[in-house]
Amino acid sequence: MLFPDYRPRRLRQNEGFRRMIRETRLSVDDLILPLFAVEGKGVKNPIPSMPGQFQLSTDHLVKTAGEAFELGIPAVMLFGIPDKKDPLATRAYAKDGIVQKATAELKKKVPDLIVITDVCLCQYTDHGHCGIVEGRVIDNDATLDLLARTALSHAKAGADMVAPSDMMDGRVSEIRNLLDEHNFSNTPIMSYAAKYCSAYYGPFREAADSAPKFGDRRTYQMDPANSLEAIREVTMDVEEGADIIMVKPALPYLDIIYRVREEIDLPVAAYHVSGEYAMIKAAEKMGWVDGKKVMMETLLAIKRAGADLILTYFAIEAAKEIIK
């Protein structure tokens, strides 16, 4: 089809035509809101590097989650910031841990909201790594039991779904087996399957107080240069029993989202991470971009690449734009 016989602009000339042929649509149903839970009451600590985001005590957490649910957002992802840390991350799997308490309260106050819990140890260890440390080495196999115990404690508290983000080899099968043994076979696993060792996580580590005290996470998170490896990681997690797989970060890895979507037939999630959020907010504050338009274009790009679900700190703002 060549000009002048074919004129693509014919179907762009008004909003009605553009709506009729739109290939990708962003829905409130696609959004998951990450939230940071802290101990206490009446706590709403601003996160300086993430304007509009807060560390929330359970009472404020319930209010924010309720607002999201009223807008049609179906799910939240809970991250916990404990009052104590130690080498074995004991507050991660404690019955009265912050995520466990927040989950129970959310399911009590907003019962139809899907509560997904992040399963990792980095917020709970005094060294800030996602696994048990022997010397200065992360011990993969010694970590698996603690991750599974954490996931089980979340399920017992009422979590609708658990989401291991640690990137230890074999953790999906370990979690699946323990959940099944304790009659939680209906609790799905959303695996951070292709999680890259990214510089875009900086603001999150401030928000969750989870920066490693030594070294970095390159021995367990993926090299940003690799894409074939992402397919191997995803395939392994699918075979181990993951129900949803995730690519993280989202925008710098749209090619990975696309490849994963082409390779597997499970739902694909993408995490629009803290650094991506912070850059848009900073550019908006400087007057360099229209923040709302860049937000929506960014989320649409993630959806267009193949993501079925998008975890984003913009969830409430985006939902308001979608439904207005």
Domain that holds residue 132: 26-323
Point out the catalytic residue in the list 85, 248, 281, 303: 248
Q: Verify whether residue 95 is a known catalytic residue.
A: no
Tell me what pLDDT residue 135 has: 85
Centre a 10 Å sphere on the Cβ of residue 29 and count the other Cβ atoms it contains: 13
Q: Backbone phi, then psi, for 124, in 5-degree steps? A: -110, -15
Structural domains in the chain (count): 1
Task: Specify if 18 maps to a domain.
Answer: no
Tell me what pLDDT residue 242 has: 98
Point out the catalytic residue in the list 85, 195, 281, 303: 195
Centre a 10 Å sphere on the Cβ of residue 111 and count the other Cβ atoms it contains: 10
Q: Verify whether residue 248 is a known catalytic residue.
A: yes
Tell me what pLDDT residue 214 has: 77
Task: Specify if 13 maps to a domain.
Answer: no
Q: What is the pTM of this model?
A: 0.95
Residue pLDDT, tens place only, 273-302: 999 999 999 999 999 999 999 999 999 999
Q: Are strands 44-46 and 54-56 parallel, antiparallel or unpaired?
A: antiparallel
> Could you tell me the CATH number of the domain that includes residue 298?
3.20.20.70
Residue pLDDT, tens place only, 139-188: 999 999 999 999 999 999 999 999 999 999 999 999 999 999 999 999 99
Average pLDDT over residues 12-25: 95
Residue pLDDT, tens place only, 75-127: 999 999 999 999 999 999 999 999 999 999 999 999 999 999 999 999 999 88
Task: Specify if 129 maps to a domain.
Answer: yes
Task: Specify if 14 maps to a domain.
Answer: no
User: Minimal CA–CA distance to 268: which of 250, 249, 244, 251?
Assistant: 244
Cβ atoms of residues 222 and 248 within 8 Å: no
Asked if pLDDT for residue 324 goes beyond 90, the answer is no
Q: Which residue has the higher pLDDT, 209 or 235?
A: 235
Residue pLDDT, tens place only, 257-275: 999 999 999 999 999 999 9
Asked if pLDDT for residue 215 goes beyond 90, the answer is no
In percent, how much of the chain has pLDDT > 70? Answer: 100
pLDDT band of 208, cuts 50, 70, 90: confident
Q: What is the CA radius of gyration of the chain?
A: 20
| Enclosing H/E stretch for 114 | strand 114-119
Tell me what pLDDT residue 139 has: 93
Tell me what pLDDT residue 24 has: 97
Rounded to whole angstroms, how far apart are CA atoms 319 and 311?
A: 13
Task: Give 164's strand partners.
Answer: 119
Tokens representing residue 272 in the block = 């629009």
